[in-house]
């Protein structure tokens, strides 16, 4: 049996498709596996007339900040994916598994129930990875490559409809190791959060607006030609900016409070068409990677992206490690350390300082607090918000309410010698 040469971090669709490419070459570090780790939402059915049509739609929705090479690659591969069937159907999925339980069983056979807590890098090349088990035990795995599929950072915001992790994500771990990130200011908020979930769009036609706040006044003054969804969105975002504000609606003779909910993070690790990050041996796929979505995500592409780039990252990692030494787990060096649960600090810093509508004053306050806590990833997030002196896509500033041509470019951030550094990319 071939000995593992690559680590895969994650428990979702991108991780699964990376694993399908690597097989026995991989060790899966997945954290706790539950049904919540599986597919939610829907997959974009890529039966558009041609790839160029799809490319134009993604780039236009992303407000011209998408990586055009990545989009072109994505569209060329996505055309081969007709549709991802629902798991509830009894028909076998030709791509590998029959049901969520089958998915979990196969993954659990290979997975270590642990989380990535540190990438150990020497001269910009991956040397080893530190993982932490649920009981606090840490171990070092010597390896030449890792595929990061651990998702984005939308759960740093409150409320959020993503899983509520109690430890830093693979994205933050990679950034702390020196990986380049971009697009962090573009975190998407679904305007209609109800009980920690997103209210289905089709339910909005049954809503009556009851709020009497300034946000509701904005709603009344909005352009009449706009759809109910767009007008409610504006009202909901406006009211949420008011302290404790919620949009009160009536549906089926029942009253509900709607509030924006963090839904998807467009920003992430900078990758190329081989799914490589700026650190040799570190690959990324899924929501953790930046490039396809730009300033806004076109609905339904997230799962297709996970399939395309999960498979791609697995293939490229396999090639990278063809001549590499097998992974070595240093069991003798295991030690115990209680988790710092930095995610709690992150939520406290972000709360009230970064959200649906932003201002220079609040962004500066958040930057100061994240600097005090030595939270470098959040420093990059607040710096990205401060640098983007405009409103574009899902990022909005009340002091710069319009889109500006001079900011039709992305910001790159990297941690060097304990300082977060910024650069433009054309």
Residue 39, pLDDT > 70, answer: no
Q: How much is the mean pLDDT over the chain? A: 79
Mark whether 364 and 406 lie in a shared domain.
Answer: yes
Mark whether 305 and 368 lie in a shared domain.
Answer: no
- 336, 360, 392 — which closes off a domain? 336
Mark whether 221 and 282 lie in a shared domain.
Answer: no
Residue 210, pLDDT > 80, answer: no
Mark whether 149 and 121 lie in a shared domain.
Answer: yes
Residue 38, pLDDT > 50, answer: no
Mark whether 202 and 170 lie in a shared domain.
Answer: no
Mark whether 349 and 318 lie in a shared domain.
Answer: no
Question: Bigger pLDDT: 219 or 107?
Answer: 107
Mark whether 152 and 283 lie in a shared domain.
Answer: yes
pLDDT of res. 326? 82
Residue 53, pLDDT > 70, answer: yes
pLDDT of res. 254? 77
pLDDT of res. 57? 86
C-alpha 167/C-alpha 243 separation (Å) is: 28
Structural domain contains residue 403? yes
Question: Bigger pLDDT: 212 or 61?
Answer: 61
- 304, 336, 368 — which closes off a domain? 336
Tally of domains in the chain? 3
C-alpha 166/C-alpha 168 separation (Å) is: 7
Q: How many residues are recorded in the chain?
A: 426
C-alpha 58/C-alpha 65 separation (Å) is: 10
Mark whether 254 and 319 lie in a shared domain.
Answer: no
pLDDT of res. 324? 76
Q: Which of 70-74, 156-160, 293-297, 409-413 has the lowest mean pLDDT?
A: 156-160
Residue 299, pLDDT > 80, answer: no
Q: Which of 130-144, 160-174, 308-322, 412-426 has the lowest mean pLDDT?
A: 160-174
Q: Which of 105, 366, 384, 142 is nearest to 267 (CA)?
A: 384
Sheet holding 419-425, edge to edge: 289-290, 268-270, 181-182, 410-416, 419-425
C-alpha 274/C-alpha 283 separation (Å) is: 8
Asked if residue 138 lies in contact with residue 117, where contact means CB atoms within 8 angstroms, the answer is yes
pLDDT of res. 363? 97
Q: Which one-letter DSSP state was computed for residue 354? A: S
Structural domain contains residue 111? yes
Question: Bigger pLDDT: 159 or 211?
Answer: 159
pLDDT of res. 277? 97
pLDDT of res. 120? 94
Angle separating helix axes 68-78 and 302-320, nearest 10 degrees? 100
E-assigned strands of 171-327? 181-182, 187-194, 197-198, 208-209, 247-251, 254-265, 268-270, 282-284, 289-290
104 phi and psi, to 5 degrees? -60, -40
At 49, is the pLDDT very low, low, confident or very high (cuts 50, 70, 90)? very low
pLDDT of res. 163? 62
Structural domain contains residue 1? no
Q: Which residues pair with 118 in a beta bridge?
A: 130
Structural domain contains residue 56? yes
Q: Which residues pair with 290 in a beta bridge?
A: 270
C-alpha 96/C-alpha 368 separation (Å) is: 48
Mark whether 200 and 74 lie in a shared domain.
Answer: no
- 218, 243, 262 — which closes off a domain? 262
% of the chain exceeding 70 in pLDDT:
71
pLDDT of res. 365? 97
**Cis before 235 (ω within 30):** no
Helices in 111-185 by DSSP H: which ranges?
Answer: 170-176
Query: Which structural domain, as residue segments, surrounds residue 200?
Result: 189-262
C-alpha 173/C-alpha 155 separation (Å) is: 15
Give me the CATH number covering residue 273: 3.50.50.60
Mark whether 225 and 284 lie in a shared domain.
Answer: no
Q: Given 3-state DSSP classes, what are the helix, strand and coil percentages for the chain, each rounded to the nearest 5?
A: 35, 25, 40
Residue 34, pLDDT > 50, answer: no
Residues 336-349: tens digit of each pLDDT: 554 456 677 888 89
Residue 273, pLDDT > 90, answer: yes
């Amino acid at each position: 049996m071939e000995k593992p040469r690559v680590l895969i971090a994650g428990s979702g669709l991108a991780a699964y498709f990376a694993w399908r490419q690597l097989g026995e070459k991989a060790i899966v570090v997945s954290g706790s596996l539950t049904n919540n780790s599986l597919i939610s939402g829907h997959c974009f059915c890529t039966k558009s007339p041609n790839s160029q049509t799809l490319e134009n739609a993604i780039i236009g929705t992303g407000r011209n900040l998408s990586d055009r090479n990545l989009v072109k690659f994505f569209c060329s591969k996505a055309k081969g994916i007709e549709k991802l069937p629902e798991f509830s159907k009894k028909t076998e999925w030709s791509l590998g598994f029959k049901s969520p339980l089958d998915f979990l069983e196969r993954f659990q056979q290979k997975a270590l129930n642990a989380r990535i807590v540190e990438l150990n890098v020497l001269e910009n090349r991956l040397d080893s990875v530190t993982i932490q088990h649920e009981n606090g035990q840490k171990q070092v795995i010597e390896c030449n490559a890792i595929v990061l599929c651990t998702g984005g950072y939308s759960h740093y915001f409150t409320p959020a409809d993503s899983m509520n992790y109690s430890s830093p994500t693979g994205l933050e771990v990679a950034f702390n190791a020196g990986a380049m990130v971009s697009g962090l200011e573009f975190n998407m908020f679904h305007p209609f959060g109800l009980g920690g979930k997103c209210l289905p769009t089709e339910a909005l036609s049954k809503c009556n607006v009851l709020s009497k706040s300034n946000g509701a006044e904005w709603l009344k003054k909005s352009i009449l030609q706009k759809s109910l969804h767009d007008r409610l969105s504006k009202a909901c975002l406006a009211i949420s900016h008011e302290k404790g504000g919620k949009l009160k609606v009536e549906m089926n003779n029942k009253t509900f409070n709607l509030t924006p909910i963090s839904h998807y993070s467009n920003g992430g690790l900078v990758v190329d068409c081989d799914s490589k990050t700026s650190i040799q041996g570190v690959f990324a796929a899924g929501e953790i990677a930046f490039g396809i979505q730009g300033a806004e995500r076109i609905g339904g592409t997230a799962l297709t992206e996970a399939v395309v780039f999960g498979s791609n990252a697995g293939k490229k990692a396999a090639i990278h490690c063809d001549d590499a030494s097998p992974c070595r787990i240093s069991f003798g060096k295991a030690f115990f350390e209680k988790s710092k649960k930095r995610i709690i600090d992150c939520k406290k810093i972000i709360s009230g300082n970064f959200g649906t509508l932003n201002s220079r004053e609040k962004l500066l306050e958040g930057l100061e607090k994240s600097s005090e806590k030595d939270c470098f990833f959040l420093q990059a997030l607040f710096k990205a918000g401060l640098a983007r002196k405009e409103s574009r896509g899902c990022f909005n500033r009340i002091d710069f309410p319009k889109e500006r041509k001079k900011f039709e470019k992305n910001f790159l951030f990297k941690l060097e010698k304990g300082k977060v550094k910024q650069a433009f990319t054309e």
